[in-house]
Amino acid sequence: MLKKKVEEALNGQIRVEAQSSQIYLSMASWAEVKGLEGISQFLYKHSDEERMHMLKLVKYINERGGHAIVSELEAPKTEFGSFQQLFKALFEHEMYVSECINNLVEVTLNEKDFATHNFLQWYVAEQIEEEALARTILDKISLIGDDKGGLYLFDRDIQQLTVDSAAADPGA
């Protein structure tokens, strides 16, 4: 059975993950309209992943005797200026999500809810990967500068971009 404080904190994270999905969906739509097909596909995929992160929390709360709450969301931005600005915003958002996960982990430790603490370790590792991927993308964008040919190659190649994190399971 979940303690009320943990349940409330987990429900807060449901909202963060749902909002992340909406933000990345809006970014994907913006990129698609700009003709950046690779970037849009990358972001559509990430929007789906964030929704799956949310669903994982919903199921966990309900399985532990709590009640997962689906709340309202803020409308995400629809304009991002440039693809560079878009990915800078993505990186900043991932840093925010990491902070939220860390705060959630702290709640579980304070409440001595070690089962939920253990459950959240997947999210901790996932955020390490997400931050590393966002940094890699920003590094590549920095190399491109204003080169249109570089943007073309980046847009084509981003769909395959992944980062092997030090936190990843070496047996995976």
Pick from 45, 3, 19: nearest CA to 161: 45
d(CA 109, CA 103): 10
> Which stretches in the chain have pLDDT values below 70?
162-172
Its pTM surpasses 0.85: yes
Query: Do the domain assignments include residue 165?
Result: no
Give the per-residue pLDDT at 164.
Answer: 52
Domain count of the fold of the chain? 1
- Spatial neighbors of 84 by CB under 8 A, at least 6 apart, are 141
Give the per-residue pLDDT at 63.
Answer: 97
pLDDT in tens, 88-100: 999 999 999 999 9
What is the full DSSP assignment across 59-121?
HHHHHTT--------PPPPS--SSHHHHHHHHHHHHHHHHHHHHHHHHHHHHTT-HHHHHHHH
pLDDT in tens, 56-81: 999 999 999 999 999 999 999 999 99
Give binding residues for Fe cation as ranges. Answer: 17, 50, 53, 94, 127
Query: Do the domain assignments include residue 169?
Result: no
Question: What CATH number is attached to the domain comprising 149?
Answer: 1.20.1260.10
- Residue 67 contacts residue 37 (beta carbons within 8 Å): no
Give the per-residue pLDDT at 165.
Answer: 46
Query: Do the domain assignments include residue 16?
Result: yes
Query: Do the domain assignments include residue 18?
Result: yes
Give binding residues as ranges. Answer: 17, 50, 53, 94, 127
Domain that holds residue 114: 4-160
